[in-house]
C-alpha cells in the first residue's frame, strides 16, 4: 500500500511555467491533447497569471498561488463542460500563462518629423524618442483581444501598435501645449506624465497598463541645429571689437612662444592685423557713409628761358608772380611735360590769361 501511495505521489500532474526570457508576455502550455489530470496541481508564481480556455472561450483566470484543479476551483470551466456532479477523468483545456510583471525599456520614437509652429522660430520639424513601461493588467482581456491562439507572444509583436498610439498622442499634446522649442527640455517630465495619463485608457482596452512614459530627447533637424549653434556663438562672443583685439593678442603671444616659426607667425600676425584693420574700418565707416572727395590733380610745372638759360620748374603760382613783376612776358619761351617744343608763354593756354591783365611797358619819357 505504501508503494502504491508513493507511485501516485510521483504521478501527480504539475501545471506550471518557468520563464527564462525577458520579453515573453504569454506562453501557451503544450500538453498532449491538452489533457489535464483531475486533481492536478497548478502553480502560478508572482508576476504570472494562468488563463484557462475551453474551445476558444476564456473560462477561468488564476492569480499567484498553488491550486488543486478540481470542480470547486474551476467553476466556469465546470459549467462549460457540464460537470454537474464533479469529474474524475482527465479534462481538456488550453492553459495560457501570462506574465504580469512590468516590461521596461520599451522604445518609442517618431518615424517622421512632427510639424509645429513655434512663436520664435516659426514652422519647425521636431523628432522625439523615449522609453515606456507596461504590464498586463487584465490577463483575460489581453489574451482575448491581442494574443488569440498564438503559442508564444512577445513584446515585439505589440510594441509597434503601442508606439503608434504614443506618437499620435505625443504630436497632439506637443501642438496643444505651445511650449517654445527652447523650453522643451525643461518640460520632459511634465510631457511624459501628461501623455501617460491621456493614453492610459487606450492601453486598458487591450488589458494593458501604461505604467510610465519617458521623453528622452526632442531634437531639431541638423541644419536648424547648426544655425542655432551659430546664433549661440554670436551671443557668447558679445563685443565683436573686443573679441577681435583678444584674438590678435593671442596670435602675437603664440608667435612669441614659437620662435622657429617666425616667418609663418609673421604672416599670420600680418593677416590678423589686416583683418582687424578691415573690421575696424567697417565698424567706423559703416556701409552708406559719405565717401571723402577725390584729391585734386597736381598743376603742371613749367620750365622758362631766362637770359638764354633754362630755369625752373615753376608752378603756375610762381609764374604768375614773375609775370606780375615783369620778369615773365608773353614772349618768354616756356616748356612742360607733354609739349613738343619751347613755346612763347602767351601761346600756352594755361598761361595766356596771365598776360591779358598785365599792363604794357611804360613808354620812355613818361612822367
In this predicted structure, the answer to whether residue 85 has a pLDDT above a threshold of 70 is: no
- The CATH number of residue 112's host domain is 3.30.479.30
Number of Cβ atoms within 10 Å of the Cβ of 91 = 21
Q: Give 299 or 166, the one with higher predicted confidence.
A: 166
Higher pLDDT, 256 or 49: 49
Q: What is the reported pLDDT for 47?
A: 94
First CA to last CA distance, the chain: 183
Q: Is position 242 within any domain?
A: no
Number of domains in the chain: 3
In a domain, 210, yes or no: yes
d(CA 320, CA 143): 119
Decide if 72 is inside a domain: yes
Q: Is the CB of residue 51 less than 8 Å from the CB of residue 143?
A: yes
State yes or no: pLDDT of 65 exceeds 90: yes
Angle at 212 between CA 209 and CA 214, to 5 degrees: 140
| pLDDT score for 6 | 42
Segment 170-182 shows an average pLDDT of 85
Q: Which of 52, 83, 99 is the last residue of a domain?
A: 99
Looking at the fold, whether 113 and 23 belong to one and the same domain comes out as no
Q: What does the pLDDT read at residue 366? A: 59
**CATH assignment of the domain containing 350:** 3.30.1490
- CA–CA separation, 142 and 37 (whole Å): 27
pLDDT of the residue at 283: 53
Tell me the C-alpha distance between 245 and 250, whole Å: 9
For residues 214 and 113, membership in a common domain is answered with yes
With cut-offs at 50, 70 and 90, classify the pLDDT of residue 256: low
Mean pLDDT of 45-72: 89
Domain that holds residue 351: 302-356
Could you tell me which of 187, 191, 179, 184 has the C-alpha nearest to residue 119? 179
State percent of the chain over pLDDT 90.
23
Cα gap 269→277, rounded to integer Å: 12
Segment 336-364 mean pLDDT: 74
In the 8-state DSSP scheme, what is residue 8? H
Q: Is residue 91 part of a domain?
A: yes
Q: What's the confidence (pLDDT) of residue 8?
A: 43
| 274 pLDDT above the threshold of 70 | no
Q: What is the mean pLDDT of residues 323-352?
A: 80
pLDDT digits (tens, 9 = 90+) for 108-154: 998 888 888 888 888 888 999 999 999 999 999 999 998 888 889 99
Task: Tell me the C-alpha distance between 294 and 302, whole Å.
Answer: 25
Q: Give the tens place of pLDDT for each residue, 38-58.
A: 888 999 999 999 999 987 788
User: Residue 71: is its pLDDT beyond 90?
Assistant: no
Asked whether residue 367 is domain-assigned, the answer is no
Task: Choose one of 189, 220, 251: the last residue of a domain.
Answer: 220
Q: What is the pLDDT of residue 1?
A: 44
Single residue among 45, 66, 99 that ends a domain in this structure: 99
pLDDT: is 346 or 187 the higher one?
187
Say if 261 falls within a structural domain.
no
Amino acid at each position: 500500500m505504501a508503494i502504491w501511495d508513493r507511485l501516485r505521489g510521483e504521478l501527480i500532474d504539475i501545471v506550471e511555467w518557468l520563464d527564462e526570457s525577458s520579453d515573453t508576455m504569454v506562453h501557451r502550455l503544450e500538453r498532449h491533447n491538452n489533457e489535464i489530470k483531475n486533481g492536478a496541481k497548478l502553480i502560478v508564481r508572482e508576476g504570472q497569471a494562468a488563463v484557462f480556455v475551453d474551445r476558444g472561450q476564456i473560462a477561468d483566470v488564476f492569480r499567484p498561488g498553488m491550486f488543486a484543479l478540481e470542480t470547486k476551483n474551476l467553476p466556469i470551466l465546470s459549467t462549460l463542460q457540464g460537470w454537474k456532479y464533479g469529474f474524475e477523468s482527465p479534462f481538456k483545456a488550453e492553459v495560457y500563462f501570462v506574465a504580469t510583471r512590468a516590461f521596461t525599456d520599451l522604445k518609442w520614437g517618431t518615424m517622421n518629423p512632427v510639424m509645429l509652429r513655434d512663436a520664435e522660430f516659426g514652422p519647425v520639424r521636431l523628432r522625439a524618442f523615449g522609453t515606456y513601461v507596461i504590464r498586463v493588467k487584465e490577463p483575460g482581456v489581453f489574451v482575448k483581444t491581442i494574443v488569440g491562439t498564438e503559442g508564444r507572444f512577445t513584446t515585439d509583436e505589440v510594441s509597434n501598435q503601442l508606439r503608434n498610439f504614443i506618437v499620435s498622442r505625443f504630436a497632439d499634446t506637443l501642438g496643444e501645449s505651445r511650449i517654445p522649442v527652447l523650453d522643451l527640455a525643461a518640460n520632459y517630465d511634465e510631457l511624459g506624465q501628461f501623455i501617460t495619463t491621456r493614453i492610459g485608457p487606450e492601453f486598458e482596452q487591450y488589458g494593458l497598463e501604461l505604467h510610465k512614459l519617458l521623453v528622452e530627447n526632442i531634437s531639431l533637424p541638423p541644419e536648424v541645429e547648426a544655425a542655432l549653434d551659430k546664433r549661440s556663438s554670436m551671443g557668447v562672443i558679445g563685443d565683436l571689437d573686443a573679441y577681435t583685439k583678444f584674438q590678435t593678442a593671442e596670435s602675437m603671444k603664440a608667435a612669441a612662444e614659437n620662435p622657429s616659426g617666425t616667418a609663418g607667425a609673421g604672416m599670420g600676425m600680418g593677416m590678423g592685423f589686416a583683418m582687424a584693420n578691415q573690421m575696424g574700418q567697417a565698424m567706423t565707416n559703416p556701409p552708406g557713409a559719405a565717401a571723402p572727395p577725390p584729391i585734386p590733380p597736381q598743376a603742371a610745372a613749367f620750365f622758362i628761358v631766362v637770359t638764354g638759360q633754362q630755369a625752373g620748374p615753376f608752378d603756375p603760382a610762381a609764374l604768375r608772380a614773375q609775370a606780375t613783376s615783369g620778369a615773365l612776358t608773353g614772349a618768354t619761351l616756356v616748356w612742360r611735360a607733354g609739349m613738343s617744343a619751347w613755346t612763347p608763354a602767351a601761346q600756352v593756354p594755361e598761361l595766356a590769361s596771365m598776360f591779358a591783365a598785365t599792363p604794357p611797358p611804360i613808354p620812355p619819357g613818361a612822367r
